[in-house]
Structure 1
Amino acid sequence: MKSESQPQSPLPEIKPEAGEPLQGPSKPARVSPWRVLGTVLSLALLVYLIRAQGWEEFTQVLSRLPGYYFWIALGLAFCSRLFVGLRWFTLLRSAGVKISFWQSQVLTFMGLFASNFLPTTVGGDLVRLAGAVYLGIDPGVGAASLVVDRLVGMAGMASLAPFGLAIVLRPAGMTPAAQWALPPFLLRLPGVGWVYRKTERFFRSLWRSSLYWLRHPWSLGLALLCTYGHMVCTFLAIWVLLQGMRQPLSFWWIGALWSLNYFFTTLLPISINGLGLQEVAISYLYSQFGGISMEAGLALAVLTRMLFLLASLPGAAFLPDILRPFPKGQKKVDAGQ
């Protein structure tokens, strides 16, 4: 009896770079000792900053936040996660994957929850890919959709990054001539060439994997709209927290500074899931350039970590499902039709 032929994927095959082995999702990610050290140092720096400002001042800022402000911010953080799932759902459906909105949300929340504990910045994406393969989605389609999903998310944040840089690069005493001279100076720093080569290789890989969606720009447009929905909900959650702490800040300044924090913690993976590093970056950016107090910046950093962790908790209920064998006779998701 002949086996049923597998459906062909509409996406181009993604091949590894020369000299780079293609690693499958079955290999567990190893925690780098340097990343563990970076996590410990980042957390130690966070504790030092809180102690330097005073534990009493820090707790007073937290105590001034009314409870309903936190719940409103949590609801907005949850809505931002729904937009992330909707973005991936849009990309999968445009690639011919017959997946339901509920299934895409389940996989997304599983990945978001797992990313709180996995060592790499793409650990949550690997969990989503494992869940997609479990549902019967073609691995090539699933991997490419996740790459494009991350690319669209970066594009949304990149649209605000120039405004964040305009805020950071114009402190008191820095002339316009010094601002123009800063980028060439950065290019001469040690290790910048290695980062540039890695970034160039990364974008070449993104280009190969996004060829299909580039031929369907409407799907990229819808995904980008979902990204902006995610960003608006995230920035509103931060705005609500700052209002509750009586540290008002413009919505646009919140978004501009958050975009810098996003790229800083994403492109500098020296700690596990940005633990400690993200908190230090948030407290520094919003206190030094946003004008809020350092105590409020530290409180905002801790509350933001709590919000995103709590908003991803629904994924904990579904994560064990991908560890069980797929039931016989149950229909899986069709992919690549």
Structure 2
Amino acid sequence: MKTEEIESEVGRSRSRLILVLRMAVSAAMLAVLISRVPREELSNLWRDWDPARITWLLTALGLTAGSVLLAALRWRQVLKALGLRVRTHRLLSLHLAGLFVSNFLPSTIGGDVLRVRRLSRQTDDPPAAFASVIIERLTGWLVLPMLTITGLLVNPSLLRLGAASSTALILVGTTLLLVLAVVYIAEHDRVGRRLQGSSGAIRRQLAAVHLGLSHLRDHPRDLRRLVGIGISYQTTLVVATAMAGRAVGIDLGPTAWLAFAPAVLIAQVFPLSVGGLGIREGALVLFLGPLGVTNAEAIALGLLIYAINLLVSLAGAPSFAMGHRRSEPVGAAR
């Protein structure tokens, strides 16, 4: 067996092992959370069933589906900063394929890697494709803390909820500091000089990130547009979470959702579980419990959000199966 084949098999085995461990973490966390739910809470969960909940559920589903288009528009804006133009429907197809891989094939290459690979084939510019996904992700990590901080400032009483408030502040504060540090380092002129004319795939990718961030710094209008789309995208997910909450009987004010839903979105991406299962539900119990939400309602909301994401991700199955056709040339952005 060739060395490359051995390394490939080792890589696949490692991926399968990591997936099994993450599944075990999800199962363990959910088991602990559910074991602590009183039986009366479970029986009361659907006792006051209202047909209007179906409307809330469909609204949450529609908003989650709509957010995928906003994500594609955000990605398109990043590519424009990198000097590339790709049609929105192409990016939408790629994004849906990435969601499908992330949610249904977690042991494979990963949704973001799939997006980079297929966009690289479309643009003939792998460094720019890599940089576009990195900058797009950084935008999300920048906006989520902003939303939580806004919710806490508008409703200061949410700062007095003990562990819920302090955990949210730690999450968003740490995230914001890390994003700003990465942006500063990647965009700094000294880094640009070191990467200028660099060889090697990794250095070219980092150079593309530097160029993209530098463009956004020098073109405030493009930066404002990118952040604006990012805010629209994340706010849509927050509203979708609130609608899903109504579907399970949770009725909170808008500032509570604005403060804590982004913190949940941050927490659930930690690569310790599958699809955020267990982590998302635990975060909802922590953040919403002090607001009068029962453990059963919080866990049900987390599982419902996961189910909605799975359903929306199914739309990416055809895009994943067919691949991304390299049928249209990509032009320089105007």
TM bucket, shorter chain = 0.7 to 0.9
Q: CA deviation at 1:50?
A: 2.0
State whether residues 69 and 92 of structure 2, in contact with CA within 8 Å, keep that contact through their aligned partners in structure 1. yes
Match of 1:291 in 2: 292
Aligned equivalent of 1:204: 185
The whole-number CA distance in structure 2 between the counterparts of 1:130 and 1:269 is: 21
- Deviation string 1:199-227 (CA, Å, 9 cap, x unpaired) is 95686347662223322222221121111
CA deviation map 1:53-83 (0-9, x unaligned): 2567436525736322211110011111211
Structure 1 length as normaliser, TM-score?
A: 0.72
Q: Secondary structure at the match of 2:103?
A: coil
Partner in structure 1 of residue 281 of structure 2 = 279
Unaligned stretches of 5+ in structure 2? 1-10, 189-205
The match for 2:330 is 333
Aligned letter for 1:140? P
SS at match of 1:272: coil
Q: Pairwise CA RMSD of aligned residues? A: 3.7
Structure 1: where are the runs of 5+ without partners? Answer: 1-26, 184-191
Task: From the two aligned structures, give the one with the greater helix fraction.
Answer: 2
Instruction: Give the whole-Å Cα distance in 2 for the aligned partners of 1:299 and 1:278.
Output: 11
5 Å matches for 1:260-271?
260-266=263-269, 268-271=270-273
Equivalent position SS for 1:273: coil
TM-score, reference length from structure 2: 0.72
CA–CA separation in structure 1 for the residues paired with 2:163 and 2:73 = 45
Q: Report the count of equivalent residues.
A: 288
Provide the residue aligned with 1:67 in structure 2.
54
Tell me how far apart the structure 2 counterparts of residues 197 and 245 of structure 1 sit (CA, whole Å): 35
Q: Distance in 1 between matches of 2:122 and 2:13?
A: 22
Q: Which residue of 1 aligns with 2:246?
A: 243
Which shows bigger deviation, 198-207 or 50-59?
A: 198-207
Q: 2:68 aligned to 54, 71, 81, which one?
A: 81
**What displacement does 1:255 show?**
2.0
Rate the CA distance shift 1:87–1:222 in 2: closer, same or farther, 3 A.
Answer: same
Bigger Cα displacement from structure 2, 110-119 vs 125-134: 110-119
Deviations 1:93-138 (A, max 9, x none): 3433231111111111111222214559x93211111120222341
Whether the aligned pair in 2 keeps the contact of 1:35 and 1:270 (CA below 8 Å) is no
Which residue of structure 1 lines up, in the alignment, with residue 37 of structure 2? 53
- Partner residue, 1:151: 138
What letter corresponds to residue 213 of structure 1 in structure 2?
L
Change (3 A) 1:43 1:56: farther
* % identical equivalent positions: 25
8 Å Cα contact 1:62/1:299 also seen in 2: no
Does the Cα contact within 8 Å between 1:152 and 1:220 map onto a contact in 2?
no
Q: 1:321 to 1:204 in 2, by over 3 A?
A: farther
Gap change, CA 1:36 and 1:96, over 3 Å in 2: same
- For residues 134-154 of structure 1, the C-alpha deviation after alignment (integer angstroms, 9 at most, x for no partner) is 223411111111111011111
User: How do 1:1-337 residues align onto structure 2 when only pairs under 5 Å count?
Assistant: 30-31=14-15, 33=17, 36-54=20-38, 57-58=41-42, 61=45, 64=49, 66-117=53-104, 119=106, 123-162=110-149, 163=151, 170-171=160-161, 204-205=185-186, 209=209, 210-266=213-269, 268-287=270-289, 289-322=290-323, 330-334=327-331
The one-letter code of the counterpart of 1:204 is: I
Q: Give the aligned residue type for 2:135.
A: V
Return the alpha-carbon distance in structure 1 between the equivalents of residues 277 and 183 of structure 2: 24
Answer yes or no: is the 8 Å Cα contact 1:78–1:311 preserved in 2. Answer: yes
